[in-house]
Amino acid sequence: MKILIFGATGQVATELRRQAPDATLLSRAEADLSDPAACAAAVMARDADVVINAAAHTAVDRAESEEDLATRINGASPAAMAQAAAAKGIPFLHVSTDYVFEGGGTEPWRPGDATGPLGAYGRSKLVGEQGVQAAGGVHAILRTSWVFSAHGNNFVKTMRRLGDTRPALNVVADQIGGPTAAADIAATLLTMAAMLHRGEGKSGIYHYSGAPDVNWAEFARTIFAMGGQEVTVTGVPSSAYPTPAVRPLNSRMDCSDLTTAFGIPRPDWRMALQAVLDDLRAGV
C-alpha cells in the first residue's frame, strides 16, 4: 500500500514516519498548506493508494488573531485534498479535534453530537471536516485530543521541563479529557488506512482518545510520578490562566464507533506515557 502523508515534522507525522518508513511525507515546503490548489495538485501528481492529512495549524491561541490563515490550512486545504483523493478513487484520512464541540456537560462526546466550537481553531477544523465529507469519496475523520509525544511541543514535555526547576506547580483541574499518544494515533491511522484500502471499515467521523479520562492536574501528577520528579501539583480553575482562546472544559470522547467499525479500542495513555518518558530520557 502506497501512502501519501501531508505533514513531516508534527507529532503525528513524526510517528507516522517511524511506523511507515516507506510512506511519502510532504513537508510544508513541498505542499503549501495555505494553498488549497497546491495541496490538491500534490495529491493528483503522486501515485498513492491512500492519503493521510496529519498537518494542521495547531496554534490554538494564535488562531484567534489569524483565523483566515487557520481556516485555509485546517479547512480549505483538507477539503481540496479530499476532493483530489475522491477524483482518484482513493481513501482520504484526516485528523481533527475535540475543539469542534462547545465543551459543556460531563458526558463523552459522540461523533454525531451537535458541534459548537468555542474559538477560531475549532471553527477552522470544523470547516475541514465538512469539506472532507462533502468531497464524496471514501474517507475517515479521526477526532482526537490532548496529543503528546517525545517530539514537538506538548504538555508532557512542558511539565518535564518545569519539573526540573520548580518544586510545586499550579495546573488546571477543571478541564477533563483523554490524553492521547501521537504514536497511538499514527498506528490507528495506518490500521484504518489499510482497511479502507481493502474496502473494509466505513467512511465517517470517529473519535479516538486515551483512557482513562483525567484533568490536566491529574495528568501532570502522573507524569511526575512516572518520570521520577518530585513536584507538588495543586489543581486550579481555568480562570487562573486566562488565554486568548477558550478551552473546552469537557473533552471526554466516546470512542465506541471506532471499535465497532475498525476493531480499535481506546488505548491506555499511561502505557504510552511510559514509552514517551523512556524516549525523552534516551534523547530519542
Mind listing the pLDDT tens digit for each residue in 65-123?
999 999 999 999 999 999 999 999 999 999 999 999 999 999 999 999 999 999 999 99
Q: How many CA atoms lie within 13 A of 45 on its CB side?
A: 10
Name the residues annotated as catalytic: 121
Provide the total of helices (H) and of strands (E) in the chain, helices listed first: 10, 13
Q: Residue 284 — pLDDT band, cuts 50, 70, 90?
A: low
3-282 has which fold? Rossmann fold (3.40.50)
Q: What is the pLDDT of residue 18?
A: 95
Return the ∠ at Cα 97 (arms to 151 and 3), rounded to 5°. 65
Q: What is the pLDDT of residue 29?
A: 86
Pairing of β 168-172 and β 204-207: unpaired
Given strand 214-215, what is the order of strands in its sheet? 214-215, 176-177, 250-251
SS3 content of the chain, % helix, strand, coil (to 5): 45, 20, 40
Mind listing the pLDDT tens digit for each residue in 215-232?
999 999 999 999 999 999
At 252 the three-state DSSP class reads coil
User: What residue segments make up the domains of the chain, in order of their start?
Assistant: 3-282
* pTM (2 d.p.): 0.96
Q: Residue 64 — pLDDT band, cuts 50, 70, 90?
A: very high
Q: Which grid cell sits at 24?
A: 511519502
Q: Which helix (H) or strand (E) holds 196?
A: helix 182-197
Q: How many CA atoms lie within 13 A of 114 on its CB side?
A: 4
Cα 240 from Cα 237, distance rounded (Å)? 6
Q: What is the pLDDT of residue 28?
A: 85
- Residue 222 phi/psi, 5-degree rounding, is -70, -40
Q: Which grid cell sits at 263?
A: 476493531
Cα 50 from Cα 4, distance rounded (Å)? 6
With beta carbons less than 8 A apart as the criterion, state whether 2 and 43 touch.
no
